[in-house]
Amino acid sequence: MGVFDTDGSEATGHEQVVFCQDRTSGLKAIIGIYSTALGPALGGTRFYPYESEEAALADVLKLSRGMAYKNSLAGLDLGGGKAVIWGDPVRDKSEALLRAYGRFVESLRGRYYTACDVGTYVPDMDVVSRETRYVTGRSVQNGGAGDSSVLTAWGVFQGMRAAAEHTWGSPSLSGRTVGIAGLGKVGKYLAGHLIGDGATVVATDVNPLALEWARTTHPEIQIVADTQTLIASDIDVYAPCALGGALNDDTVPVLRAKVVAGGANNQLAHPGIGKMLEDEGILYIPDYLLNAGGVIQVADEIQGFDFERAKLRATGIFDTTRRILQLAGDEGVPPAVAADRLAERRMAEVGRLRSIYLG
């Protein structure tokens, strides 16, 4: 797979792809910038032991494109980017490697802002920030915004409210039963919002500590044995909040919920699942729309983090979900397609405004 578009496919429509190497520290990184139409590209750095350079490239091309759509839909003045560091984070991560990476991020002079992703953590971003200004996801002590799962959960809750309004006429989840797969950080906060709104929460998690948290903090949460049991339960809304691929050929046929709205990434195991959900009459709210609270938070960090301002923007996921459901109805397409269209339109319509000269 190459970098350049040779067949008109949006999948290789990337503006810039930057290979960065520092042989002494062992750094091998690829920064993908899909689009800067809306502003500097923002997206995290994945540190992963890919099988090959080709696999690393394919991942950064896919992820950076996804960020362009996510940031556009989130209403941010940010383009889409992502970076991968090819290596084993446990074995290969070092101060020198992270700082070499930081120098390459700096070399792009703000066309790309980085953040945490799989294999990179807040302390890593603190190290990266010693070489570049263009980094978010730092520790609170170093100007960072802290745990982004608070706003991620808030955004998921807002999108779920819009889905409820669309499905049952009222945005309230009161009286509805919501099944949460995964009581990690996002799932926990989401459960709290739902219980506060009067919903019944059914949940599952493989981690005993998460179950212990539920028993002590929210004894009203009904715990079930596993995800299979959860999706076959009599739930109105299914909220995948754990690993990707929650919606697949096995789970969709047994799913009893009318709405799927969760915080997990890449919920659809393959593109055909979208159609399957539609055929089953299940309303699927695109994951990258719902879980944008995290990127909204790190984006706010660029301006100097203000929780209330970021929360206001994450609350906007309610309105965006409404607009997408409206557009989906108007254009006769699934919400996922409507979301892509809205993201693309914003990139085109707002991006072209720079042609109005301001000096």
The binding site for NAD(+) comprises: 182-187
Residue whose token pair is 């000269």: 357
Alpha-carbon distance 107 to 131, whole Å?
10
* Interface with a copy of itself, residue 109, by CB under 8 A: yes
Closest CA to 340 of 352, 357, 327: 327
**Choice from 76, 108, 116, 190 touching a copy of itself (CB under 8 A):** 108
Residue listed under structure tokens 């920064």: 31
21 binds a copy of itself (CB under 8 A): yes
Name which of 86 and 189 has its Cβ closer to a copy of itself.
86
* 17 binds a copy of itself, rule: CB under 8 A: yes
Q: How far is CA 102 from CA 20, 55, 213, 220, in A?
A: 11, 22, 38, 46
At residue 46, the 3 state secondary structure works out as: strand
The answer to whether residue 15 forms part of the interface with a copy of itself (CB under 8 A) is yes
Size of the site for a copy of itself (CB under 8 A): 26
The DSSP symbol for 252 reads G
SS (H, E, C) 159-217: HHHHHHHHHHCCCCCCCCEEEEECCCHHHHHHHHHHHHCCCEEEEECCCHHHHHHHHHH
**Judged by CB under 8 A, which of 7, 11, 13, 195 binds a copy of itself?**
13
CA–CA separation, 305 vs 139, rounded Å?
12
Should residue 133 be labelled a site residue for a copy of itself when binding is judged by CB under 8 A? no
Tokens of 64: 């950076």
| Segment interacting with a copy of itself, rule: CB under 8 A, options 2-10, 115-123, 127-135, 311-319 | 2-10
Alpha carbons 75 and 289: distance in angstroms, whole number: 10
Residue among 28, 82, 93, 258 flagged as catalytic: 82
Record the tokens describing residue 40, joined without a space. Answer: 């500097």
Rule CB under 8 A: is residue 28 a binding residue for a copy of itself? Answer: yes
Span of 101-109, 131-139, 176-184, 191-199 interacting with a copy of itself by CB under 8 A: 101-109
User: Given candidates 65, 99, 111, 313, which one binds a copy of itself under the rule CB under 8 A?
Assistant: 111
Near a copy of itself by CB under 8 A, which window of 76-84, 104-112, 257-265, 313-321? Answer: 104-112
Residue 92 contacts a copy of itself per CB under 8 A: no
Which are the contacts of 135, defined by CB distance < 8 A and separation ≥ 6? Answer: 102, 105, 113, 114, 115, 125, 128, 129
47, 48, 69, 86: which one binds a copy of itself (CB under 8 A): 86
Task: Figure out which of the listed residues 5, 88, 234, 306 binds a copy of itself, where binding follows CB under 8 A.
Answer: 5
Judged by beta carbon, residue 13 or residue 143, the one nearer a copy of itself is 13
Amino acid at 105: V
Establish whether 82 is a catalytic residue: yes
22 binds a copy of itself (CB under 8 A): yes
- List, as residue ranges, the binding site: 182-187
Binding site for a copy of itself (CB under 8 A): 2-6, 13-23, 28, 52-54, 86, 104, 107-109, 111
The set of catalytic residues is: 82
